[in-house]
Amino acid sequence: MFIIRLIILVVLISAVVFVYRKLTLRKSRASTAPAPASMKKCSHCGIHLPANEAVEYQQHFFCSQQHKDLYLNDHRDD
């Protein structure tokens, strides 16, 4: 009879520890998740890239300086 009570006690303690770890793990993951980066579309080729990596010219964004130059050569009259 003592062994059954001991097994039940160990199972209950294990369940409480498991639930506690799950709850604290969710909170720490939610608070440390990085904010999603703002994405911009290259006006020349259409690829999407993070805004902090984009080359900006007036209201246009480009994936590289070369694409900015190509776009400006193609759209000189605009």
Task: Tally the domains of the chain.
Answer: 2
pLDDT value of position 27: 63
Residue numbers of the domain that contains 55: 39-74
> In terms of domains, do 5 and 24 share one?
yes
For the residues 5-9, what does the mean pLDDT come to? 94
pLDDT of residue 23: 86
- Interval 32-55: pLDDT, tens: 667 788 999 999 999 999 999 999
Among 40, 53, 45, residue whose Cα is nearest residue 74: 45
**Are residues 22 and 44 part of one domain?**
no
Instruction: For residues 28 and 56, state if they share a domain.
Output: no
Cβ atoms of 61 and 54 within 8 Å: the answer is: yes
Q: How confident is the model at residue 76 (pLDDT cuts 50, 70, 90)?
A: confident
Sign of the alpha-carbon torsion through 60, 62, 68, 73? negative
Same domain, 1 and 29: yes
pLDDT averaged over every residue in the chain: 88
**Do 22 and 8 share a domain, yes or no?**
yes
Whether 29 and 51 share a structural domain:
no
State the number of CA atoms in the 13 A half-sphere of 35 facing the CB.
Answer: 3
Are 70 and 43 in a shared domain?
Answer: yes
* % of the chain at pLDDT higher than 90: 71
